[in-house]
Amino acid sequence: MSPVIRLWDVFFAFLGLALLFPLLVLLWLIGLRDTGSPLFRQERVGLNQVSFVLNKFRTMAVGTNVVATHLVDGASITPFGRFLRKTKLDELPQLWNVLKGDMSLVGPRPCLPSQQALIEARANRGVFAVRPGITGLAQVRGIDMSTPELLAETDAKMLEKFSIRHYFQYILLTISGRGAGDRVVH
DSSP letter (8 states) at residue 1: -
Return per-residue pLDDT of the chain as tens, 186 residues.
Answer: 689 999 999 999 999 999 999 999 999 999 999 999 999 999 999 999 999 999 999 999 888 776 666 566 678 899 999 999 999 999 999 999 999 999 999 999 999 999 999 999 999 999 999 999 999 999 999 998 889 999 999 999 999 999 999 999 999 998 888 765 554 444
Q: Residue 45 is which amino acid?
A: V
Distance CA 25, CA 48 (A): 33
Q: Where are the domains of the chain?
A: 3-175
DSSP letter (8 states) at residue 69: G
- In this predicted structure, what is the pLDDT of residue 68? 60
Contact partners, residue 68, CB within 8 Å, separation at least 6: 111, 112, 114, 115, 145, 146, 182
Q: What share of the chain is helix, strand, coil (3-state, %, to 5)?
A: 55, 15, 30
Residues 13/98, Cβ–Cβ less than 8 Å: yes
DSSP letter (8 states) at residue 105: E
pTM over 0.85: yes
